[in-house]
Amino acid sequence: MTVAARKRPAKLIYQGSVKDVWQSPEGEHKLWFEYTDDYSVFDWGKMPDTIARKGASLAGLGAYFFKRMSEPTFWQKLKTSTALERFDASWLADRFNHNVFSGPDGLTQSGLPSHFLKLTDGSSEALELKDLFARQQDGPVFLEVQEAKVGHPRRHSVLGKEIYFYPTSSIVKDSPSGLALIPLEIVFRFGMPEGSSLKSRLEKNPAYLSELGLSEMPQEGRWFPHPVVEFFTKLETKDRLLSYQEASTMAGLTPEHFETMVELALACALGLYSIFAEKSIELWDGKVEMVLDGRAASDARAVLLADSIGPDELRLLYGGQHLSKEIIRIYYRGSKWEKAVKEAQEICQQKGIADWKAYFSKEFKLEPEPLSPAFKGAIDNLYCVLLNHLSGESVFPGCPDIESFVGQLKTALAKGGTK
Read off the pLDDT of residues 341-399 as tens digits, 9 standing for 90 and up: 999 999 998 888 878 889 999 999 899 999 999 999 999 999 999 999 999 999 999 89
- Domain extent at residue 119: 12-414
> What percentage of the chain's residues is helix, strand, coil (to nearest 5)?
40, 20, 40
Torsion from C-alpha of 219, 223, 229, 235, nearest 10 degrees: 80
Q: What is the pLDDT of residues 92-133, one digit of tens each?
A: 999 999 999 999 999 999 999 999 999 999 877 899 999 998
pLDDT band at 40 (very low <50, low <70, confident <90, very high): very high
Q: What percent of the chain has pLDDT over 90?
A: 70
In a domain, 6, yes or no: no
In a domain, 5, yes or no: no
In a domain, 379, yes or no: yes
DSSP for 209-244 reads: HHHHT-SSPPPTT-EEEEEEEEEEESSSSS--EE-H
Q: What is the pLDDT of residues 268-279, one digit of tens each?
A: 999 999 999 999
Report the b/e string of 253-286 with b at 16+ CB within 10 A: beeebbbbbbbbbbbbbbbbbbbbbeeebbbbbb
Q: What is the number of structural domains in the chain?
A: 1
In a domain, 51, yes or no: yes
In a domain, 3, yes or no: no
